[in-house]
Amino acid sequence: MDGLGNVIEDTIAVVDAEPPNIFDRSSVRAAARFKFQPRVVDGQGVEVSGVQYLFRYQLED
């Protein structure tokens, strides 16, 4: 995420999926809309990398 708390869409990557390639695009679109309180160092928002989220999808019968 950037220094304003926005997710940098070009940096989003699916690192694992089971089953593969089924929900990847939905997960990337959801992550791109996230907004965070920025990390602040010396009074300035700073970029944070390596943030990971787990998405679980449950299908109903």
Is the backbone of residue 54 left (phi > 0), alpha (psi -120 to 50) or beta? Answer: beta
Has residue 12 got a pLDDT over 90?
yes
Q: Output DSSP code: residue 19.
A: S
Mean pLDDT of the chain: 90
Closest CA to 12 of 36, 33, 42, 37: 33
**What's the pLDDT tens digit per position in 31-54?**
999 998 888 999 989 988 888 889
Neighbours of 27 (CB within 10 A): 17
CA–chain centroid gap for 45, Å, is 18
